Structure 1
Amino acid sequence: MTVTALCHGEGCRGGNAGGRPGRRTAAGSRLCRACREHFTAGLAELAHLYEECGRVLGGASPGSLRERTTGGELPGLPFNGAAADVRAKMVSVLGSWSGLVAQQRGFTPPARTVADLTAFLLRNADWLAAHSAAAEVTEEIARLVRAGRRAAFPDPTRTIRLGTCPEPGCPGALALAVRTATRAAGPAIVCDADPGHRWTSDQWSVLSDSMESGQAPGAAAAATERWLTAADIAQLWHTPTGTVYRLASEQRWRRQGRAGRTYYHEGDVRACFERRAEART
């Protein structure tokens, strides 16, 4: 394709670019490939964040597999105002952009539900990427995703239980501790019996083969069945949550529901990401 101009996407402008020069776009678009993918992943994630925010409206514990440490729900305060505000904002912003697309393209506007609005905008993502308002739409969608994550998963520290420590003779269990403020630095998988038994989340594929087998990472291991939420998968494989949901649907990962949440079979997830890694080499 013919290269034409600097990307207008939210990830390439201002402080979000991290000091690097903005990437260039392909002809017919105002976004680079990375910002285009980030934009569509954000749209896909919003429908799921809307549902997660709905879960915490009545005081349900946000997030996924985590430890309960102290206290409990505050009596008489079951309503989560932040989640309600974010859900209303999602409908308003997505409805506004869908209205623009419908008006300028002569389409029938979708129903004002987040699922219908995001599906409509995803079908028109290429048109929006080429529109003069591409900068604004990518910025507003990214802002909505950040707000939705904060409302759905407000606890700054989450603990994802992973299983038994694979070091010989160790009685401990492994957990992935994720602290929102240091997410960029990369979460670590740590044994609760011996902090010296520690791995980065990048080593999860190898580590998971040896867990609950009593052998060191890399040794032959018995198959262990584990189930992970989309948020867990996003943390372990450093992948946007929207991409996780897309892959789960495309690759038909095995799934099961527990207490209103969806869990995916870790073996299917790992096989998928291993194939993706091999395809990039």
Structure 2
Amino acid sequence: MNLLGPASRQAVTDAQDQTGETPFLEVLWSWCGAVAEERGLTPPKKNVTAMTARLTAHLTWVAEQPWVVDFSEEIGGLVYAVQKITMTAPRKQLLKGVTCLGCGMSSLVRYFPGDYAAECLNCPSQKYSDRDYELLVQGQARGLESVNP
């Protein structure tokens, strides 16, 4: 993995590449160690591919652990760092004219690529599938028709 940016011709060869205060590989390694220890598994090889494959394979179990918030924050921080460095962050489009059911604000966005048709910037739990978003748009449009006949 090259964390020097898309224009760099130089590969990252140091296993201790650094982002923030903790080396990238060490964050992955520590979570793999926690999974291996608690599940009685042999630790994976200490490379990005093996470690991410191990963590991905056990995500359902990880989601049930009391430390899942710490896991999510640390892995999310790595994803954010990689996206920033490689300039590969998802594109965000504000969905104008539709309000969130949770907060009532016009804060719905669509990410490209993304898993949902719409997500609220203010309410992390408000995520709409294609069908749900279409129903939301239709419902709010009907509400406007009754106000402005």
Q: CA deviation at 1:79?
A: 8.8
Partner of 2:64: 130
Give, as a single letter, the amino acid of the residue that structure 1 aligns with 2:49: A
Mapped partners of 1:129, 1:145: distance in 2:
18
Gap change, CA 1:126 and 1:151, over 3 Å in 2:
same
Identity score, percent: 26
Asked if 1 retains the 8 angstrom alpha-carbon contact of 2:2 and 2:11, the reply is no
When the two structures are superposed, what TM-score results if normalisation uses the length of structure 2? 0.53
Count of equivalent residues: 100
**Paired position in structure 1 for 2:38:** 104
Please give the alpha-carbon distance, in whole angstroms, between the structure 1 residues aligned to 2:36 and 2:11.
Answer: 35
**Separation of aligned partners in 1, 2:23 and 2:85:** 12
Q: Is 1:119 equivalent to 2:53 in the alignment? A: yes
Corresponding residue of 1:85: 18
Q: 1:132 to 1:113 in 2, by over 3 A?
A: same
Report if aligned partners of 2:92, 2:111 keep a CA contact under 8 Å in 1: no
Contact 2:36 2:43 in 1 (8 A): yes
Contact preservation (8 Å) 1:90, 1:114: no
Distance 1:79 1:113 in 2: 15
> Which structure shows the higher helix fraction?
1
Aligned to 2:112: 238
CA distance in 2, matches of 1:127, 1:140: 17
User: TM-score, normalising length from structure 1?
Assistant: 0.30
CA RMSD of aligned residues (A): 3.6
Give the SS at the match of 1:95: helix
Which residue of structure 1 lines up, in the alignment, with residue 142 of structure 2? none
Tell me the equivalent position of 1:61: 7
Q: Indicate the SS of the match to 1:121.
A: helix
Change (3 A) 1:113 1:79: closer
The alpha carbon displacement at 1:90 in A equals 2.4
Flag the 1:237–1:139 CA change in 2: closer, same or farther, 3 A.
closer
Note the residue ranges of structure 2 that are not aligned, 5 or more in a row.
Answer: 95-109, 116-128, 135-149
Once the two structures are superposed, residues 201-258 of structure 1 have per-residue CA deviations (whole angstroms, 9 ceiling, x without a partner) of: xxxxxxxxxxxxxxxxxxxxxxxxxxxxxxxxxxx96224xx7xxxxxxxxxxxxxxx
Contact residue 29 and residue 51 of structure 2 kept, 8 A? yes
Residues 85-120 of structure 1: per-residue CA shift (max 9 Å, x gap):
23x822111100000110111001110111110110
